[in-house]
Amino acid sequence: MKIKELAKLVDGQITGAFADDNYEVEKAFASDLMSDVLRFSMDETVLITGLCNNQTLRTAEMADLRVVILGRAKEPDEEMLKLAKEAVITIIKSQYSIFKISGILYGAGIKPLY
Amino acid sequence: MHYTFEIERGNFTDAGQASSSVKRTLKQLGVDPANIKRTVVALFEAEINAIAHAYGGTIDVDIDDSKIVMVVADKGPGIPNLDLAMQEGWSTASAKVREMGYGAGMGLPNIKKNTDELQIDTEVGVGTTVTMTVYLA
């Protein structure tokens, strides 16, 4: 699924289309715990999180994530947007809860990481 | 090639800068993406550990054609029980560290998983030195 489709499904706003528009997401992982994000292979995966700080982006960078959905109406600050740009990561902001975002994407065919 | 970075106690704003810099360098050198991934995940975990638990330290990274050696040396409390620290889920992280999304007790086990060699020298009240090697062959 393309990033724009992901954003549409969760009524989200793309704060910066830093990743390739043609990038295809197949799987999702929902976590506020960055320690767990670093444990798994994140190829073709979108991270769904309510954790909104620099470390969300740093972790995404190390895990080779290209797309992060910030749920629960979290708002990234300037520093986060700068990090996202440097690491070529797209942030999608959504008002929905993590559970709702996960449910919508699962229903649309996005697979769980495991 | 040799790179050195400073670690500042509790500075989560800049946490990950060293790992990010190493990642960029490895990409420029054309290192295989899978090896880049495990190198930077291990280094990032060690960097976060040092920021979260220690009173400052240094990161030294040596890269040659066959391997990447990373040494994260901190001045800190040391690890009283290394066997416990190596267990998944064991953590002494503060509430602040947990608020940042870490402190799940997965750091050292994850470093071990992502490196070919791991050596931890620690002394209570003095500090900890974590030496990680990733072979590129």
A51·B15 Cβ contact <8 A: no
B16·A55 Cβ contact <8 A: yes
**What is residue B34's predicted lDDT score, i.e. its pLDDT?**
94
CB-CB contact of B111 with B132 (8 Å): yes
Chain A CA closest to residue B105:
A35
- Residue B52, pLDDT > 90, answer no
CATH number for the domain including A20?
3.40.1390.20
Q: Based on the structure, what is the number of domains in chain B?
A: 1
CB-CB contact of B75 with B127 (8 Å): yes
Structure-token pair, residue B95: 């509430």
To the nearest 10°, report the CA torsion of B19, B25, B30, B35: -20
CATH number for the domain including B12?
3.30.565.10
Mean pLDDT for the stretch of residues A61-83: 95
Could you say which DSSP state residue B13 is in?
A: S
Asked whether this complex has an ipTM greater than 0.90, the answer is no
Q: Which helix (H) or strand (E) holds B57?
A: strand B57-63
| Catalytically annotated residues of B | 45, 49, 98
Boundaries of domain holding A40: 3-112
Least confident of B5-14, B23-32, B56-65: B5-14
Q: How far is A39 from chain B (nearest CA, A)?
A: 6
The whole-chain average pLDDT of chain A stands at: 94
Question: Which residue's structure tokens are 């990234």?
Answer: A76
Residues from chain A contacting residue B105 (CB–CB below 8 Å): 35
Structure-token pair, residue B94: 């503060």
Among the partner-chain residues B12, B40, B101, the one whose CB lies closest to the CB of A32 is B101
Least confident of A35-39, A71-75, B42-46, B103-107: B103-107
**What is residue A105's predicted lDDT score, i.e. its pLDDT?**
98
| A36 at B interface, C-beta within 8 A | yes
B101·A55 Cβ contact <8 A: yes
Q: What percent of chain A has pLDDT over 90?
A: 88
A82 Cβ neighbours under 8 A, 6+ residues apart: none
Q: How far is A32 from chain B (nearest CA, A)?
A: 6
> pLDDT tens-digit profile of A39-60?
998 989 999 999 999 999 999 9
Q: Based on the structure, what is the number of domains in chain A?
A: 1
> Residue B82's pLDDT band (boundaries 50, 70, 90)?
confident
**What is residue A4's predicted lDDT score, i.e. its pLDDT?**
93
| A91 at B interface, C-beta within 8 A | no
Residues from chain B contacting residue A55 (CB–CB below 8 Å): 12, 15-16, 100-102
> Residue B96's pLDDT band (boundaries 50, 70, 90)?
confident
> pLDDT tens-digit profile of A29-40?
999 999 899 999
